[in-house]
Amino acid sequence: MKVRQAIRVADSQPSRRDTRLDKYVEQYAARASGFQVSAVRALFAVANRPEVVSLAGGMPNIADLPQFEIGATISKLIAERGAQAMQYGSGQGEIFIREKIVEVMAAEAICANADDVVITCGSQQGLDLVSRIFCDPGDVVLAEAPSYVGALSIFGANQCEVVHVETDELGIVPDAVRQAVTTLRAAGRKVKFCYTIPTFQNPTGSCQSVQRRQELIAVAQEVDLLVLEDNPYGLLGFDREPLVALRAMDSERVIYLGSFSKTFAPGFRVGWVCAPHAVREKLVLLQEAATLCPPVFSQFAIAEYLENFDWRAQIRAFADMYRERRDAMLQALVEHMPPGTTWTHPSGGFYVWLTLPDGLDSQAMLPRAVSARVAYTPGTAFYADERGCENIRLSFCYPTPARIIEGVKRLGEAIRSEQETHAIFRTERTARPGRHGAVINPAPDIN
Ligand SMILES: Cc1ncc(COP(=O)(O)O)c(C=O)c1O
């Protein structure tokens, strides 16, 4: 009886730990302490309402894919080879799709073998696998200033420190890479690799010239540094043939990440890593541990698409559609932005990087913009440190040209009224604490 009573008392009185918001807090690994929900995520929930024009998301516009025909091909695949396509597969990924990927990479002068390729669950998983292979807590990764929010999240989750390197309109500055490596090594830090998006960068839209690429590779060779080239947008240029990839310039020093997310469809979650032999071995072992094998059905489906459809023509059609949207955005910016606002002029990809007039803060302004029914991603998301307050990333990939024009018009109004408030109250930009290893998770709609 006494025992039963005692149990009842214990049941009704939660322990000290149970009264906390998160009762598992003492069990988490050290790396989990850095995970943070994005401060702007709640606003993005509002931004997804139909009346709001979202210039925030990095979602490709795949509505023009021949969906009916793709569906028929996939039905046939299930009918004829379903038992194989729906089975477990190889940890490295299926050979037939790796052979196709070699053809895709040839468009950027990469000369690879199917054996150099490891299939991943989107290039996002490639970023994670490479980071986990190379980075111990406290190691340094160099990245463009600013850089892709999803990569910053992964580097943070793997407890490495991101050091941003000076970046101009042609991308990362090779001399600044040399300088950063020299200074960090002199201070006893381990610099594991330089992460770069050379072609139509996320978030700035910048594109490294061939000369800039050669200089970057020369510096990497000089200081013995690995380069992690992330290239989801490389085939989405508006005015020219694809540029030569960094990987094509030094296959032993460059680890290359590719993806079908922007050139076909992100829902299949198929990307790849093309890596030097020794690294590839480690990637396969880690991929087996992480997933047993990357999604087999998606690999079959994409291989069927590449085999049976004119994927090169489809990519050209995508690029034409995105060019029209870029043009709509650039023209609307000229018409609606107040003096003192500047922006980049991308020649491919999805993004424009905007700098606000003096004194304005993009994160502080976001509620006003959402009230004006337009959403954007504040520049702070793209820095691991406290920078980015004066910047905004605008995406032209998803909304129609008419919606883009309307969104930019609303943004112009929001900026003007923020300027008026600023002129009256002289609000100062607040210094942000920065991430310092904390992770701001990229929701799919802000990646
Ligand atoms: C630069 C960059 N890298 C990687 C990714 C992840 O792409 P996915 O995992 O869909 O291949 C994205 C997505 O927006 C990106 O912009």
Using the atom order of ligand 1, give the atom closest to the CA of residue 271.
11
Confidence tier at 49 by pLDDT (50, 70, 90): confident
Q: Compute how many other C-beta atoms are within 10 angstroms of the C-beta atom of residue 153.
A: 26
Distance 281 CA to ligand 1 centre (A): 23
**Best mutation site among 124, 172, 199 for ligand 1 pocket (most ligand atoms within 8 Å of CB):** 124
23 Cα–ligand 1 center, Å: 34
The per-residue pLDDT for range 104-143, each reduced to its tens digit, is 999 999 999 999 999 999 999 999 999 999 999 999 999 9
Q: Which two tokens stand for residue 14?
A: 């939660």
pLDDT band at 2; cut points 50, 70, 90? very low
Q: Is the pLDDT of residue 408 over 90?
A: yes
CB-CB contact of 142 with 192 (8 Å): no
Q: Structural domains in the chain? A: 32-64+313-441 (3.90.1150.10), 84-310 (3.40.640.10)
Smallest Cα–Cα separation from 252: which of 427, 116, 439, 432?
Answer: 116
Q: How far apart are the CA of 151 and the centre of ligand 1, in A? A: 9
Condensed to tens digits (0 to 9), the pLDDT of residues 224-261 reads 999 999 999 999 999 989 999 999 999 999 999 999 99
**Residue owning the nearest CA to atom 13 of ligand 1:** 447
What type of residue sits at position 255? I
Q: What is the DSSP letter of 398?
A: S
**Token pair recorded at residue 31:** 């790396």
Pocket test residue of 172, 351, 397, 447 for ligand 1, highest count of atoms within 8 A of CB? 447
- The whole-angstrom distance between residue 264's C-alpha and the CA centroid of its chain comes to 16
Best of 228, 262, 264 for a ligand 1 pocket test (most atoms within 8 Å of beta carbon) = 262
Q: pLDDT at position 6, please?
A: 43
382-404 as b/e: b if 16+ CB within 10 A: bbbbebbbbbbbbbbbbbebebb
Angle formed at CA 281 by CA 279 and CA 283, multiple of 5 degrees: 70
* Burial bucket for residue 181 (CB in 10 Å: 0-12, 13-18, 19+): buried
Residue 428 has pLDDT above 70, yes or no: no
The ligand 1 site (C-beta within 6 Å) comprises 58, 122-124, 148, 150, 197, 202, 230, 232, 259, 261, 266, 271, 447
Q: How do strand 226-230 and strand 191-196 relate by DSSP bridges?
A: parallel
Tokens of 417: 């009224």
Q: What are phi and psi of 54, to 5 degrees?
A: -95, 115
Lowest mean pLDDT among 39-48, 259-268, 311-320, 410-419: 39-48
CA 422 to ligand 1 centroid distance, Å: 36
